[in-house]
Amino acid sequence: MKPFEYVCRTYQVPACVGRRVVVHGKPGTIVEDRGHHIGVNFDADKPGRVCPCHPTSEVRYLEQIREPRKVSRSSRRYQEYLNADCGESFAEWLGIGRRRKACR
């Protein structure tokens, strides 16, 4: 199934990556297909923050399509850490968290 195929077919909306939207009065850009929802990065949020929004719940689709804002390298790395769900601290995951030896 193509990205947004379900949402477009089921809800009859023009969802696609880069489409500008206004959700509950807040402007943003669609950046991800979230299955039954659209993933929106609101203009007031950092580029890596994606909020799942229902495709028809107070969503106004605009004609404008633009390239989604780029996520910084550090934000992308932190998101990879969160997705890894490894039980380590972020510093340990990066390899910079060295435990000190106990003093005797």
- 22 or 85, which is more confident? 22
pLDDT, tens digit, 9 for 90 and up, residues 2-44: 999 999 999 999 999 999 999 999 999 999 999 999 999 999 9
Distances in Å between the alpha carbon of 16 and those of 41, 57, 72?
13, 17, 22
pTM of the model: 0.75
Percent over 90 (pLDDT), the chain: 59
* CA neighbor of 53 nearest in space, from 33, 32, 39: 39
Which range, of 3-12, 52-61, 95-104, averages the lowest pLDDT? 95-104
* Number of neighbouring beta carbons within 10 Å of residue 83: 8
Among the residue ranges 8-12, 21-25, 55-59, 64-68, the one predicted with the least confidence is: 64-68
Confidence of residue 99 (pLDDT cuts 50, 70, 90): low
Q: Tell how far CA 73 is from the center of its chain.
A: 14
